Amino acid sequence: MDKVDLIALFFVCYDAQSQRDNRSWLPRGRAMGYEIQISESRKFLRVRAEGKVTVELARQWSAELKEMSRTYGIRSFLFDVRAAKNTSSVAENYFFAYKDATELGL
């Protein structure tokens, strides 16, 4: 095993353990088309989305952000959506911004 394989194995094992403990410092949601990370400075949570983004996906990462924000005491967010395409309708986006986000406490 070379050094890169060992590092990858460490992250996989650490991520599995930290997910059980609800203390993940590693990317979350990657299989869903987004990932959430805590910045190196621990001053903000970073969401990076790729591919097609729907309102449902935004609801999922918003709920996860809220949980992580509460858990780690981080109240600043950075959204990197340069590689994402919004596939929701104008009406869906409107209701997400003015109804869903309010209900989620964002």
Domain edges within the chain: 28-103
The verdict on pTM exceeding 0.85 is no
The pLDDT of residue 89: 94
Contacts of 66 (CB under 8 A, 6+ apart): 104, 105, 106
The pair of three-digit structure tokens given for residue 34, joined into one six-digit string: 């987004």
Place of tokens 């059980």: 20
Computed over every residue of the chain, the mean pLDDT equals 77
CATH 3.30.420.40 fits 28-103, yes or no: no
Which is it for the CA torsion 13, 16, 22, 24, positive or negative? positive
Mean pLDDT score, 30-38:
81
Mean pLDDT of 33-61: 92
Distance CA 55, CA 100 (A): 9
Q: Work out the percent of the chain whose per-residue pLDDT is above 90.
A: 60
Number of C-beta neighbours around residue 52 at 10 A: 12
Least confident of 16-30, 68-82, 85-99: 16-30
59/26 Cα distance (integer angstroms): 20
